[in-house]
Structure 1
């Protein structure tokens, strides 16, 4: 079970995390989790280029290790890179020391002050430890979850999810993963066109 739109009470529970970036300039922030991988990340890079849309990619360290050429292309395209741990660890199920070490392993490759916890699952103790170890690190969550990872979700419903809930300042999550690709391939170009027609401005975090 997941919520497409982040409820206000969750933002109140975790006020130190970044859920959205409110503004009056129609700016929105498109993000991608779980890459980089061949084919899917390449498709995303090419599609974003068509719409002149910069984005932020939260990369898994082990995928960077496996696919350095895709990661290099991502950087050369000018997108911002964030940390998504080295092995896509769920914070709630992981010892704090192990979790921090896994983030450090990824940080050695991505060198970013942005982190998105996989699954959005992170303990308050881990947040505190992160702030000590990485004082400038911003923990980025989201305002709109596309649901593209849900293989029971139709591409049309996935598109409806993101269009219906996007407002200025929204941080929107997609996944450049094989599991999400059937929906992502349909949704991303259509969503970019609709957002652009509505006057939204795309920015990196």
Structure 2
């Protein structure tokens, strides 16, 4: 089970994490697309081409093991002007991992991913793990999401995935897609639909900045 839309309870339980961006007065229609689990030899190039077609920027939260295996695709993400984030090396579930093992896995990914941004796999990271991460890697910004597209869910259709994004997106939303084998069928449909629909309504798509202060 998972919730498409993040709620206030999550934010109260886990302070110090970014779920959505406040809007500047001159930026009333901004969305932040993000992709987890890549780079992937098929899904990531598709996402990059689709984003380029709409002159959109996004953020890619990469697995260290996939950056190791697909360095050229990782470089292309950066060359295209997107931001990147650490999504751990082996996609560990924080609720099932010890604090030392969890931090070690993130630090291993840092050898391949140069970014202060981090998103916990499955969104699961305990408060102790969060404190240990910020101590081990000062300046880390923990990026969560405002809504999940559900593209990882093989039990829903591509159309339902797109419907999730259309229904719950709002100015400043951080939206999660996945550039992975499991999600590709739904992402391949929902990403172009998202870009076309919201671009036509005056939205712009920005990358989460990789800088000391967000």
Tell me the TM-score range normalised by the shorter chain. Answer: over 0.9
Residue 102 of structure 1 is matched in structure 2 by 105
Q: Separation in 2 of the partners of 1:122 and 1:181?
A: 26
Secondary structure at 1:73's aligned position in 2?
A: helix
CA deviation string 1:103-149 (max 9, x = no partner): 11111111100000000000100000111112210000000100000
TM-score by structure 2 length? 0.94
Question: How many equivalent residue pairs?
Answer: 205
After TM superposition, the score normalised by the length of structure 1 is 0.98
Moved more, 85-94 or 6-15: 6-15
The DSSP-based 3-state class of the residue aligned with 1:110 is coil
Moved over 4 A (4+): none
1:68-79 matches, cutoff 5 A: 68-79=71-82
In the TM superposition, what are the counterparts of 1:104-143 in structure 2 within 5 Å?
104-143=107-146
The whole-number CA distance in structure 2 between the counterparts of 1:15 and 1:195 is 30
Unaligned regions of 5+ residues in structure 2, if any?
209-214
Deviations 1:47-71 (A, max 9, x none): 0000011100000000011111111
* 1:2-17 map, 5 Å: 2-17=2-17
Taking only aligned residues, the RMSD between alpha carbons, in angstroms, comes to 0.8
| Structure 1 unaligned residues grouped into runs of 5+ | none
**Residue of 183, 186, 192 corresponding to 2:186:** 183
